[in-house]
Amino acid sequence: MTAGADPTISFVTPVYDPPLDALEACLDSVLAQRGLSWEHILVDDRSTDPRVRELLRRRSAADPRVRVVEREVNGGIVAASQDAVEAARGEFVAFLDHDDRLAPTALTVLADVLVDPEVDYVYTDEDKVDDEGRHFDAFRKPAWSPERLRHQMYVGHLSVMRTSLVREVGGVRPGFDGSQDHDLALRVTERARTIVHVPQVLYHWRTVSGSTAADPNAKPYAWEAGRRAVAEHLVRTGIDAEAELGPVPGTYWVHRATPDVLISVVIPTRGGSGIIWGARQHYVLEAVDSIIATTEARFEVVVVYDSVTDPHVLDELRARLGDRLVLVEFEEQFNFSQKCNVGVAAARGDVVVLMNDDVYLSAPRSLDQLAATALEPGVGGVGCRLLFEDGRLQHGGHVYEHGDWHHVLLAAGPDEHGPFAGLHVGREASGVTAALLAVRRDVYLEVGGMAERLPVNFNDVDFSYKLWHEGHRVLWLPEVTAYHFESQTRVPKVFAWEISLVRQRWGIPGRDSYFPEGSHF
């Protein structure tokens, strides 16, 4: 930075009794930055160790870009962070904890992103580093995922925000100690014009005893503060829902309210039966019973049945559903996509839910929540957690990478969280299965429905691609859990022409955008 020039980035660091060697490493990591002009604002929150202020004063005297604010009383991380934001002169502020470090190339990489005048928020990948300097637990983050941010403070470090926008939304607010960064990220991203993810590890989070990096349970008050931050975000964004603590520390679940719309559940079937929890049952009848037992919203069930379906099954459907039943006979050769399209054509609801006949809803208001989410602006398809009969995971969203399309962590056990709690957080996904899929009826028609050229495999992959292509988001929700009685040992017969068709339409997938943490299948 030349004399008199304003910095582009203000690194803001609240300081309170860090290990001196860690603070030195933090300061050195900023000093080594090239590519953009910067300043480093350090707010000492009345550290009890006098050597902390002595170190900060020496560094400030040696380099005018290092600016120190000394608080007279200890105010906590929120007050110290807000003091730093108020003192910032840079176009952007970047949050750096007092014992963490930047990668040497951080500003060089960010320079290529921040040149865009529309960019208001940038976040990067991060890892952890121990006292011996060993790096581990790299978090390869997804592309911008507003649903995941409601469920988890995933953007974390390094977060770079336009200073004027941070001030516009009120800066770092009191009352959210421990999750003040999550609260700020929610408020800034609600108004940000462009949000960019940089898929490189540019931040090293130091693990020390008592820190959330080393132990997510270390600060339980922060978890509750995060829940309140999400709850207020839901109110501000007009999402009629309640936020609650999730099953893993630092995660949250969002329970949408029942919408006042008609839901059309489209079930293709041939009236088959099988052993369900030790007893032979007709799949479609069990599926319908689960709909009746769990749904509060208004609904109809459109059953697209093959001509060979046992008349007894149809009679039972009529008895269970009455005028909520729409029966559509299907006389063509089996084509799952065509059966879905025929069913949607007969549907009257604002939201369509495609549902396999061997799916059983186990959670109250499952369809209500799927439909409510599908009605939100910008949302296309909505899927959920599907379990095999023994409780292992059948569907956690699709992942498209390494030239193929897969279910995330297929057959994961009930106690498995997935990388960075990925199996417990709602999130944008590259795709979701059509075994249980909610979509607005007008969106379904807009994208042309299910591709009848794909009668068996990959029709839901193609449908998910189409939704994203037309600007609609695809979401996966863990709050909604259902059972899919598809056999775990079933090996689907896949033909080369099916793979070729999907690749011709959409290319060969490389790195998944929304679940890139590593090996998932």
The candidate with the shortest Cα–Cα distance to 236, out of 321, 173, 325, is 173
CA distance 287 to 356: 8
**Mean pLDDT on 459-476:** 98
Integer Rg of the chain from CA:
26
Give the per-residue pLDDT at 131.
Answer: 86
- List the one residue out of 124, 299, 153 whose CA is nearest residue 226: 153
pLDDT value of residue 220: 84
For β-strands 325-330 and 298-306, DSSP reports them as parallel
Specify the pLDDT at position 72. 96
Tell me: pLDDT of 214 over 70: no
- The token duo for 309 is 């379906």
- Residue 3 and residue 324: Cα distance in Å, rounded? 75
Query: Is the pLDDT score of 3 beyond 50?
Result: no
Give the mean model confidence (pLDDT) for residues 397-411: 94
Nearest to 384 by CA among 323, 434, 452, 459: 434
pLDDT digits (tens, 9 = 90+) for 23-58: 999 999 999 999 999 999 999 999 999 999 999 999
Statement: residue 133 has pLDDT above 90: no
The answer to whether the Cα torsion of 295, 300, 302, 308 is positive or negative is positive
Q: What totals of helices (H) and strands (E) does the chain contain, helices first?
A: 15, 25
Is the model's pLDDT at 519 over the cut of 60? no
Per-residue confidence at 444, pLDDT binned at 50, 70, 90?
A: very high
Residues 52-111: pLDDT tens digits? 999 999 999 999 999 999 999 999 999 999 999 999 999 999 999 999 999 999 999 999
Residue 294, both tokens: 């769990």
If we measure between CA atoms, which residue out of 245, 219, 438, 272 comes closest to residue 347?
A: 438
In this prediction, what percent of the chain has a pLDDT beyond 70?
95
Rounded distance, CA 317 to CA 287, Å? 11
Percent over 90 (pLDDT), the chain: 91
pLDDT reported for residue 520: 44
Instruction: Give the span between the Cα atoms of 467 and 460, in whole angstroms.
Output: 10
* Residues 289-300 pLDDT 10s: 999 999 999 999
Least confident of 5-19, 386-400, 423-437: 5-19
Q: What is the pLDDT of residue 255?
A: 98
Q: Predicted confidence band at 217 (pLDDT cuts at 50, 70, 90)?
A: low
Q: What 3-state DSSP class applies to 226?
A: helix
292: which DSSP letter? H
Is residue 475 within a helix (H) or strand (E), and if so which, with residue range? strand 473-484
d(CA 175, CA 173): 7
Residue 417's Cβ-count burial label (10 Å; 0-12, 13-18, 19+) is: middle
In one letter, which amino acid is 495? F
Helix 50-62 / helix 20-31 crossing angle, nearest 10 deg: 20
For residue 101, what pLDDT is reported?
97
CATH superfamily, with its number, for domain 262-506? Spore Coat Polysaccharide Biosynthesis Protein SpsA; Chain A (3.90.550.10)
Phi, psi of 24 (to 5 degrees): -60, -45
Given this model, what pLDDT does residue 218 score? Answer: 64
Q: Give the SS3 label for residue 67.
A: strand
Residue 213 has pLDDT above 70, yes or no: no
Please list the residues that pair with 254 across neighbouring strands. 243
pLDDT over threshold 80, residue 491: no
Q: Where are the domains of the chain?
A: 9-219, 262-506
261: helix, coil or strand?
coil
366-372 average pLDDT score: 98
Point out the least confidently predicted range of 90-94, 176-180, 276-280: 276-280
Give per-residue pLDDT as tens, 280-332. Answer: 999 999 999 999 999 999 999 999 999 999 999 999 999 999 999 999 999 99
Q: Is the pLDDT of residue 518 over 70?
A: no
- According to the model, what pLDDT value does residue 516 have? 83
Can you state the angle between helices 459-469 and 496-506, rounded to 10 degrees?
Answer: 0
Please give the mean pLDDT across all residues of the chain. 94
Question: Which CATH superfamily groups domain 9-219?
Answer: Spore Coat Polysaccharide Biosynthesis Protein SpsA; Chain A (3.90.550.10)
Mean pLDDT within 486-507: 86
Task: Tell me whether domains 9-219 and 262-506 share a fold.
Answer: yes
Please state the three-class secondary structure of 387-410 as a single string: ECCCCCEEECCEEEECCEEEECCC
